[in-house]
Amino acid sequence: MVLTIYGFALTAGTRRITLVCKELNIPYEFVVVDLAAGEQKTPAYLQKQPFGQVPAIDDDGFKLYESRAIGRYLAAKAGSPLLPHSDPKKFGEFEVAASIEYSNFEPFASKIAHEKIYKPLQGLATDEAVVAERLAALTTKLETYEVILGKQKYLAGDEITLADLFHLPYGSALVQVGFDVFSTPNLKRWWNDISSRPSWQAVKDSA
Amino acid sequence: MVLTVYGFALTAGTRRVTLVCKELNIPYGFVVVNLAAGEHKTPAYLEKQPFGQVPAIDDDGFKLYESRAIGRYLSAKAGSPLLPNFDPKKLAEFEVAASIEYSNFDPYASKIAFERFVKPLRGLVTDEAVVAQTLASLTAKLEVYEVILGKQKYLAGDEITLADLFHLPYGSILVQVGADVFSTPNLKRWWNDISSRPSWQAVKDSA
């Protein structure tokens, strides 16, 4: 039975999991959820994802949602080092990095992407003051990333993990709209490394 | 060697960690980080937590930060069912619940807590329009919690996990500032259950 992914390719959450599937060589079927038509709020879809968000998966009857949970599940199932689970300390260090991503990167990067990419797509005006404020806050956070990445190759240590990969969708959106946020030496090295991976190249523009 | 927790007792992250210590009967030494004096931005503290935030831990030389990562580390080390990591599917269901907490609860609850609780402490004026708008969004999310908790006892299944416990600090502040968000039947049952646990009672007002 093949894994089915329900999503919309231009969204961060959907690309977060197709990326993990490519990393782990997991074949999948992609079913488009028509966000413009409000399909994510239909009773049929709410059975898959009760918050009416994308993505969601069906793995031979096992249903999950929340992209970072799905990524962890697929990595755990594959026994992949992308989720270092054998040792509490290595696991702890991974979870620090994963927490940094959703606490210190996502709130800022997603808001900028929302203002600069998604709002125009919906015919709404970008609030440049919000963008400027979020960008300033993000830049400060990334100064700490620069320190961390000066001591180790990736965010959780010297091996790549899901925590690095989870940055790719919104990180790429920032670069796309012209914000050169990964410009200091260690950030640049890290960003070039993770964004050039074949798995990301395979999904960045499609599913 | 005892676990040392560096934090400030009134903050959500610090109480998330001391709560888990109480749940797992882990003794800890608590060191106050004087936020008002800017201690969290000193070079000495930045060695423990490079983003200059609380809490941070030192477990016999092993340093970690980000409260949800610390909670997972302590649970994994203890082999506790609060983190069901023995099976990819059980882990996945836990991670969905944990993701729901930081995606669908924390951004709204923390914002309301900031407006109604933190700002007055700093002599600033609460923006009630922001509170109203944020509360409306949170209420919509909690309608989905009501559905989930109608099918199972806790957010990840029928056993309590870290995902439920992580709601306690901001959830309690919401109740404290008069936002009666856990009022529908299943939410009420769940909230009464988790908030009456001795571990939470032990740390809710102190470290």
| A73:B64 CB<8 A | no
Residue range B25-33: average pLDDT?
Answer: 97
Helix then strand then coil, % of chain B, to nearest 5 = 55, 10, 35
| B88:A76 CB<8 A | yes
State pLDDT tens for residues B141-183. 999 999 999 999 999 999 999 999 999 999 999 999 999 999 9
Q: What value of ipTM does the predicted structure carry?
A: 0.94
d(CA B5, CA A18): 38
Of the pLDDT bands very low, low, confident and very high (cuts 50, 70, 90), residue B17 is very high
> What pLDDT shows up at residue B132?
96
A75-83 contacts, C-beta under 8 A, 24 or more apart: A75/A20, A75/A24, A75/A162, A76/B85, A76/B88, A76/B91, A76/B92, A77/B88, A78/A24, A78/A26, A80/A23, A80/A24, A81/A159, A81/A161, A82/A20, A82/A23, A82/A24, A82/A160, A82/A161, A82/A162, A82/A165, A83/A161, A83/A162
The percent of residues in chain B predicted with pLDDT above 90, rounded, is 92
| B96:A144 CB<8 A | no
Q: Would you say A164 and A197 are in contact if contact means Cβ atoms under 8 Å apart?
A: no
| A95:B85 CB<8 A | no
> What pLDDT shows up at residue A193?
98
The whole-chain average pLDDT of chain A stands at 96
Q: Is residue A137 packed enough to be buried (19+ CB in 10 Å), middle (13-18) or exposed (0-12)?
A: middle
Q: Given a cut of 90, is residue B206 above it in pLDDT?
A: no
Which of A50, A76, A96 is closest, CB to CB, to B69? A96
Q: Given a cut of 90, is residue A113 above it in pLDDT?
A: yes
CB-based contact, A50 to chain B, within 8 Å:
yes
The percent of residues in chain B predicted with pLDDT above 70, rounded, is 100
> What pLDDT shows up at residue A90?
96
Q: Given a cut of 80, is residue A207 above it in pLDDT?
A: no
Residue range A131-158: average pLDDT?
Answer: 98
Nearest C-alpha neighbor of B47 from the set B61, B37, B36, B29? B61
Other CB atoms within 10 Å distance of the CB of residue B46: 14
Residue range B92-111: average pLDDT?
Answer: 97
State pLDDT tens for residues A73-105. 999 999 999 999 889 999 999 999 999 999 999
d(CA A180, CA A175): 6
Q: A92 contacts in B (CB within 8 Å)?
A: 62, 64, 69-70, 72-73, 76
d(CA A130, CA A178): 16
Q: B147 contacts in A (CB within 8 Å)?
A: 50
> What pLDDT shows up at residue B10?
85
> What pLDDT shows up at residue B207?
59
Q: Given a cut of 70, is residue A200 above it in pLDDT?
A: yes
Query: In sequence order, what are the residues at sequence separation of 6 or more whose Cβ sits closer than 8 angstroms to the Cβ of residue B197?
Result: B23
State pLDDT tens for residues B52-75. 999 999 999 999 999 999 999 999
Of the pLDDT bands very low, low, confident and very high (cuts 50, 70, 90), residue A1 is confident
The percent of residues in chain A predicted with pLDDT above 90, rounded, is 94
Touching A: B residues 57-96, CB under 8 Å: 62, 64-70, 72-73, 76-77, 85, 88-89, 91-93, 95-96
Q: How close A95 gets to chain B, by Cα (Å)?
A: 5
Q: How close A145 gets to chain B, by Cα (Å)?
A: 9
Three-class SS state of B28: strand
> Cα Rg for chain B, rounded, in angstroms?
17
**Among A40, A59, A85, A96, which would you mutate to test the B interface (most chain B Cβ atoms within 10 Å of its Cβ)?**
A96
Tokens of B161: 């996990």
B115-to-A138, A161, B90, B131, B133 alpha-carbon distances in Å: 22, 36, 37, 7, 12
Three-class SS state of B91: helix
Q: How close A177 gets to chain B, by Cα (Å)?
A: 24
Query: In sequence order, what are the residues at sequence separation of 6 or more whose Cβ sits closer than 8 angstroms to the Cβ of residue A171?
Result: A105, A109, A181, A182, A191, A195
The whole-chain average pLDDT of chain B stands at 96
Residue range A12-28: average pLDDT?
Answer: 97
Residue range A44-53: average pLDDT?
Answer: 97
B2 compared with A129, residue with greater pLDDT: A129
